[in-house]
């Protein structure tokens, strides 16, 4: 756990769909119409109303995010962020991934969310190298927090122990002087 100003950052091994936070972030695709991985799990748990809502949004650009309600999820909102597909790193992937975290926190702030949970965006089907993605996630969240005053708690929801260990190491690295 790391404290930055009024906000705590923590990693947990947890299914993000079970978290009763103000907002969970979805690792979506540009259609916003669902898919596999965490996206599929979120749509299954939220129910069909989420898909109906997403259909009205007209998709979302890579690096951007859009907010819906959480419907049957314990979370109030879902922030659908579209991470980049990894193509080797020369196609702006790092900037696009950072942009996902920035835009998600901006939307969380607009909705006055106090707590928000992120999955490891782009680290599954989109094949972004996990170590680099974790550094970008933690760095961008820390950098953006001053512009997201409502946010008091950020959870990095990890699906497995290996991802949890990466976040723990990065949070620890940031905590040491
Ligand atoms: N809770 C937390 N983390 C999860 C969960 C869960 N329930 N399920 C998977 N993960 P991915 P991407 C982890 O593939 O790489 C979809 O089809 C997973 O272990 O879900 O951004 C979309 O529609 C990994 O660490 O997202 C897009 O087409 C991380 O979440 C595409 O996949 C992200 O893996 C997006 O690919």
pLDDT tens per residue across span 2-12: 999 999 999 99
Ligand 1 closest atom vs CA 121: 21
Segments in the chain forming alpha helices (H): 37-46, 48-55, 93-110, 130-144, 161-175
Cα of 38 from ligand 1 centre, angstroms = 4
pLDDT tens per residue across span 100-158: 999 999 999 999 999 999 999 999 999 999 999 999 999 999 999 999 999 999 999 99
Candidate list 15, 22, 39, 53, residue with the active-site label: 39
| This model's pTM is above 0.85 | yes
- Report which of 133, 114, 116, 39 is spatially closest to residue 82, judged by C-alpha positions: 39
As a whole number of angstroms, the distance between CA 101 and CA 107 comes to 10
As a whole number of angstroms, the distance between CA 2 and CA 96 comes to 25
As a whole number of angstroms, the distance between CA 37 and CA 25 comes to 13
The dihedral over CA atoms of 129, 155, 46, 127, expressed in degrees to the nearest 10, equals: 0
Cα of 176 from ligand 1 centre, angstroms = 30
| 64 part of the active site | no
């Amino acid at each position: 756990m790391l404290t930055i100003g009024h906000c705590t950052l923590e990693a947990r091994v947890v299914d993000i769909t079970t978290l009763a936070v103000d907002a969970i972030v979805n690792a979506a695709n540009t259609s916003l119409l669902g898919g596999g991985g965490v996206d599929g799990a979120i749509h299954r748990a939220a129910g069909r109303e989420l898909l109906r809502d997403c259909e009205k949004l007209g998709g979302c650009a890579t690096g951007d995010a859009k907010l819906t309600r959480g419907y049957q999820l314990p979370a109030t909102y879902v922030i659908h962020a579209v991470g980049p597909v990894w193509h080797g790193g020369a196609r702006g992937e790092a900037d696009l991934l950072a942009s996902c975290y920035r835009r998600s926190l901006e939307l969380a702030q607009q909705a006055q969310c106090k707590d928000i949970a992120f999955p490891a965006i782009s680290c599954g089907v989109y094949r972004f190298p996990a170590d680099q993605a974790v550094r970008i996630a933690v760095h961008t969240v820390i950098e953006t927090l001053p512009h997201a005053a409502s946010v008091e708690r950020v959870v990095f929801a990890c699906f497995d122990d290996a991802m949890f260990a990466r976040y723990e190491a990065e949070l620890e690295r940031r905590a040491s002087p």
